[in-house]
């Protein structure tokens, strides 16, 4: 079941991503990198966003596309890191 | 913009250092197309190469505003020297973020002291702006990588000890630290550039260079999305402030010349059109510096818009540097066109380079276009 905290994570991740790419209607499981809709600065801005918004530090061990490729991927990554 | 007392004190300290150790010699370095090791060592002793490096790694852990002021102060003296801060910090920021603790411990402390000079090796003879198309190849052989390819226009590669080299491993972007003494590394100096003549520009050819896999930074697949763009971002911050320093140098030289050069029984600074040109320089200086400080403050606050603000600052400051340097030559007349008589010719040549490195004016304009068009909102208050 989606908890309130989960809902907050998803809302803020969606908001950041849609604002960055300038497209509102993306699916939560849509691969942002495969579809080529992100620009060259998006990746490092996403890192700053995750670190700053959720108080996490992303290191080389986290460099895995499965952590960043979609709204769902980022949310799962944040929850996993927060759970540690 | 309010600087705090520590920032002001450090800025004065940087300016004093530049007045004593840089400005009097910058013309000679340019003429002979070399940067003496002595000045690099002297900067190392002051700890300036470690400006943004954590104290535990031998750095100063200064904020980015102070780092910017360092680049402005040095930029006023020598663009060729300041670009050493640019590239050293491009490599340092990539390592600090994405290298392992072991890699950081190996390379960052000597870089912070200036004992090791590092180059950022991305551009190739056939690929500049379009970084995704680089062709440098890494192949995996057990726990070694084998590197083949050519990097061109690499700042300070002529004297660097290590290079952060970007290439592809089975089509996946990868970044790796290559050491100058590794067999198969060939360094060819590039002389007679338009500007930045003393920055030891070089071409690097790699012929079957064997590199331990332990030198890979981050992971394969991420070098052109997470590593290079980060280095380029900090490079732009440095170049933006360096451009502002160049504008100041052009302005000061012009003001001095205009107050001493007599035409028709009066000094130049009595002529309204000359005053207007100097006023334009002052406006260029102040607006560029404000944008740079806005960008550095965004970086200090870890603002999500720090990258675009830095692009904006670099775009504006580099273009303003070109026009200020051009006007400075005009105000000095023939005197300003002669390398031995005036530094303005050097400013003019160096300024144009500011528009090319870390993203050309056109490429940055595209990025800013994406921002403004998608967001439909201005940047500064964001
Ligand atoms: C003094 C100096 C020092 C340098 N130091 C380094 C270094 O340390 N490390 C390193 O890796 N590189 C370095 N470079 C290389 C520099 O980064 C490149 O020159 C720069 O990225 C531009 O690439 P290019 O020269 O191949 O030009 P090109 O990419 O061929 O561009 C040519 C022209 O096309 C325009 N253009 C290209 N793409 C676009 C686009 N998408 N939209 C609009 N216009 C476009 C450009 O603005 C330019 O006007 C240095 C260059 C100089 C001159």
**CATH number of the domain that residue B195 is part of:** 2.40.110.10
Q: What is the pLDDT of residue B2?
A: 83
Instruction: Answer for the pair B14, B68: CB distance below 8 angstroms, yes or no.
Output: no
Kindly indicate the confidence band of residue B8, based on its pLDDT and cuts at 50, 70 and 90.
very high
Residue B140 clears pLDDT 60, i.e. is over it: yes
Q: What percent of chain B has pLDDT over 70?
A: 100
Closest CA to B164 of B106, B81, B88, B236: B88
Does any domain span residue B361? yes
CA B368 to chain centroid? 20
Same domain, B177 and B269: no
Residue B190 clears pLDDT 70, i.e. is over it: yes
Q: What is the mean pLDDT of residues B85-105?
A: 98
Instruction: Answer for the pair B65, B300: CB distance below 8 angstroms, yes or no.
Output: yes
Choose one of B195, B223, B251: the last residue of a domain.
Answer: B223
Q: What is the mean pLDDT of residues B246-257?
A: 97
Choose one of B87, B116, B145: the last residue of a domain.
Answer: B116
Of A22, A43, A51, the CB nearest to B374: A22
Q: What is the mean pLDDT of residues B143-172?
A: 98
Q: Which domains does chain A have, with CATH numbers?
A: 4-81 (1.10.1200.10)
Burial label for B330, CB within 10 Å (0-12, 13-18, 19+), is: middle
- Tell me the pTM: 0.97
CB within 8 Å: A60 and B375? no
Q: What is the pLDDT of residue B273?
A: 95
Chain B, 189 to 218: residues with Cβ < 8 Å from chain A are 217-218
Domain that holds residue B216: 120-223
Residue B85 clears pLDDT 80, i.e. is over it: yes
Which neighbouring-strand residues pair with B210?
Answer: B146
Residue A35 clears pLDDT 90, i.e. is over it: no
Same domain, B230 and B363: yes
Does any domain span residue B51? yes
Kindly indicate the confidence band of residue A4, based on its pLDDT and cuts at 50, 70 and 90.
low
Residue A2 clears pLDDT 70, i.e. is over it: no
Number of domains in chain B: 3
Q: Where are the alpha helices (DSSP H) in chain B?
A: 5-21, 26-32, 37-46, 64-77, 79-98, 101-113, 228-260, 272-300, 306-336, 344-354, 361-375
Does any domain span residue B376? no
CB within 8 Å: B373 and A22? yes
Does any domain span residue B58? yes
| Chain B interface includes A34 (CB < 8 A) | no
Same domain, B63 and B193: no
- Model confidence pLDDT, tens digit, residues B286-320: 999 999 999 999 999 999 999 999 999 999 999 99
> What residues contact residue B186 under an 8 Å CB cut-off, 6+ apart?
B204, B205, B206, B207
Q: List Cα–Cα distances, B355 to B84, B120, B253, B321, in angstroms.
A: 17, 18, 22, 9
Of B100, B230, B373, the CB nearest to A44: B230
């Amino acid at each position: 079941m989606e908890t309130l905290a989960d809902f907050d994570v998803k809302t803020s991740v969606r908001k950041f991503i849609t604002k960055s790419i300038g497209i509102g209607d993306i699916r939560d499981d849509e691969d942002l990198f495969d579809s080529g809709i992100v620009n060259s600065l998006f990746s490092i801005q996403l890192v700053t966003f995750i670190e700053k918004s959720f108080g996490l530090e992303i290191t080389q061990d986290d460099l895995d596309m499965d952590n960043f490729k979609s709204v769902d991927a980022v949310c799962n990554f944040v929850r996993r890191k927060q759970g540690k | 913009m309010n600087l705090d007392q520590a920032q002001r004190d450090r800025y004065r300290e940087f300016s004093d250092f530049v007045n004593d150790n840089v400005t009097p010699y910058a013309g000679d370095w340019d003429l002979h197309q070399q940067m003496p090791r002595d000045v690099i060592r002297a900067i190392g002793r002051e700890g300036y190469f470690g400006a943004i490096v954590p104290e535990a790694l031998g750095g100063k852990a200064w904020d980015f505003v102070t780092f910017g002021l360092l680049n402005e102060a040095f930029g006023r003296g020598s663009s060729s020297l300041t670009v050493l801060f640019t590239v050293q910090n491009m490599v340092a920021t990539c390592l600090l973020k994405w290298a392992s603790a072991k890699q950081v411990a190996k390379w960052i402390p000597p870089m912070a002291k200036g004992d090791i000079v590092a180059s950022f090796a991305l551009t190739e003879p056939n690929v500049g702006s379009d970084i995704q198309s680089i062709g440098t190849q890494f192949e995996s052989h057990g726990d070694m990588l084998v590197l083949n390819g050519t990097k061109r226009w690499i700042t300070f590669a002529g004297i660097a000890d290590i290079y952060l080299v970007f290439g592809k491993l089975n089509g996946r972007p990868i970044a790796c630290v290559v050491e100058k003494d590794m067999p198969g590394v060939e360094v060819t100096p590039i002389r007679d550039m338009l500007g930045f003549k003393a920055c030891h520009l070089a071409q690097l050819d790699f012929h079957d260079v064997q590199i331990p896999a332990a030198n890979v930074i981050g992971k394969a697949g991420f070098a052109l999305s997470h590593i290079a763009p980060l280095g380029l971002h900090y490079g732009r911050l440095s170049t933006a402030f360096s451009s502002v320093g160049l504008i100041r140098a052009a302005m000061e030289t012009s003001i001095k010349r205009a107050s001493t050069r007599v035409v028709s029984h009066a000094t130049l600074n009595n002529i309204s059109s000359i005053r207007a040109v100097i006023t334009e320089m002052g406006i260029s200086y102040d607006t560029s510096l404000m944008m740079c400080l806005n960008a550095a403050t965004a970086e200090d606050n870890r603002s999500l818009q720090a990258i675009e603000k830095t692009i904006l600052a670099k775009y504006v400051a580099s273009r303003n540097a070109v026009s200020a340097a051009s006007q400075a030559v005009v105000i000095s007349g023939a005197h300003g066109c002669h390398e031995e008589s005036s530094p303005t010719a050097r400013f003019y040549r160096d300024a144009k380079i500011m528009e090319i490195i870390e993203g050309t004016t056109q490429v940055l304009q595209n990025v800013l276009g994406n921002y403004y068009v998608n967001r439909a909102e201005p940047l500064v208050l964001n």
